[in-house]
Amino acid sequence: MVPLLLVLLLALLLFGAGFALKALWYVAVAVLIIWALGFVLRSAGAGGKRGRWYRW
**pLDDT tens-digit profile of 7-52?**
888 888 888 888 888 888 899 999 999 988 887 777 666 555 555 5
Higher-pLDDT residue of 53, 14: 14
9/30 Cα distance (integer angstroms):
32
Region 50-55: what's the mean pLDDT?
Answer: 57
pTM over 0.75: no
Q: What are the C-alpha distances in Å from 30 to residues 5, 15, 19, 33? A: 38, 23, 17, 5
In Å, what is the CA distance from 31 to each residue of 17, 39, 54? Answer: 21, 12, 13
**Looking at residue 23, what is its pLDDT?**
87
Q: Give pLDDT, residue 26.
A: 92
How crowded is the C-beta side of 41, counted as CA atoms within 13 Å?
8
